[in-house]
Structure 1
Amino acid sequence: MLVTGIKSMPVYRPLQFDDSGKVHLAVARGAGGDALRRLAGAARACKVLYAAEAGADLTQAVRAGSADVTVAASTAALLQQLGHALASLPMGLRFYAAGDEDFLAEVSRVAELHGLDSAEMQCECVAPGARRVHCVHCRTCNTAVSGAIAPCAGCGRKLLVRDHYSRRLAAFMGVMADAETPGAA
């Protein structure tokens, strides 16, 4: 159960085109393509980077919305292309991202490294139940965790998933759930 009002928690909202920007860049992975289709319908001109999953291709659907679309072979390739694009785009950029929480954390980190702040970025999470959890014991990042207690893929401990989100690690914190039990460690 997530507690509301925690300042460290990321805030996700449906993407909305921001007319105040001079240049627009949108990225998505997998099911985040649906959010880009909506955005492309409202956008005047927007550069789009998309990492398809399972052979899905959003190119034609987004191009109808006057977007310049590049479909990356993988998330790693998309992140590399994103870095190159952000290095060359001028001030006044508006950045849009859609995908699961892991993807949003990765692209937000790249955007922040290139000087974008939260006022210039919008993120829409398309898999709201799945979280990335960092084990404080073995430092493994566990992906797609949906419960309050989950096994760590690195050390096997049962982790209690806290509502604290680390922006540096792009993950929620997981601590040993039964630490008081003798022999549990």
Structure 2
Amino acid sequence: MRSTSMSLEPGFRGVICASFGDTGDTAGRDTGDRPKYDLHFTSANPESLAELRSALERSCVGARLVLAGPAIDVHAASAAAQECGMVDEEITLLPDENSPWVVFCGHCHVGTTTTGVHGSVEVPCQGCGIVLATTDHFSRRLGGYLGYAAHAEEA
């Protein structure tokens, strides 16, 4: 699902505002006198990320990106934007802090979706089943937090 306030012309230098799910709304975001291009997706699935990449490919240096919604979607879209050549200074992240987030297993490299307070949650890995302790180390490339064997010292 997509909604736009204007058509995106090649060479666009304004602000691309992408929101995800029910919580991500950038419609009221003030962009000053810069043109604004609104996108809304239900989630950061392959189709929506392809559409975001397409919009970024039509934009020029100087374009900015605002991402809002569940943390999983916001970080996946940010990783896609960085693959397109955008840098951190061009991207504003507005994740819903109460939404689920991803823990990546350092053993099997599978992402496990969870909720709770970062750094204080233990979750079973959806890949290898090992109980993971979470860290505050966030991978922008993977869009999630690093997990490690919670009880490795007891093995």
Deviations 1:136-164 (A, max 9, x none): 11111012342521111111111110111
Distance (whole Å) between structure 1 residues aligned to residue 20 and residue 129 of structure 2: 29
TM (norm. structure 1) is 0.67
Larger radius of gyration: 1
Structure 2 runs not aligned, ≥5 long: 1-11
Deviations 1:47-106 (A, max 9, x none): 1121137xxxxxxxxxxxxxxxxxxxx732211111111111122101100012211221
Distance (whole Å) between structure 1 residues aligned to residue 28 and residue 23 of structure 2: 10
Deviations 1:13-59 (A, max 9, x none): xxxxxxxx94110111113433x1331xx245411121137xxxxxx
Q: What residue is the counterpart of 2:137 in the other structure?
A: 164
Find the partner of 2:62 among 84, 92, 101.
92
Give the counterpart letter for 2:154 in structure 1: T
Q: Does 1:173 align with 2:146?
A: yes
Q: Does 1:115 align with 2:85?
A: yes
Runs of 4+ in structure 1 off by over 6 angstroms are none
| Mapped contact 1:133–1:145 kept (Cα < 8 A) | no
Q: Report % sequence identity.
A: 27
Distance (whole Å) between structure 1 residues aligned to residue 57 and residue 39 of structure 2: 15
Q: 1:51 to 1:175 in 2, by over 3 A?
A: same
Q: 1:141 to 1:86 in 2, by over 3 A?
A: same
Structure that is richer in helix per residue: 1
Distance (whole Å) between structure 1 residues aligned to residue 19 and residue 42 of structure 2: 8
Give the counterpart letter for 2:42 in structure 1: A
TM (norm. structure 2) is 0.79
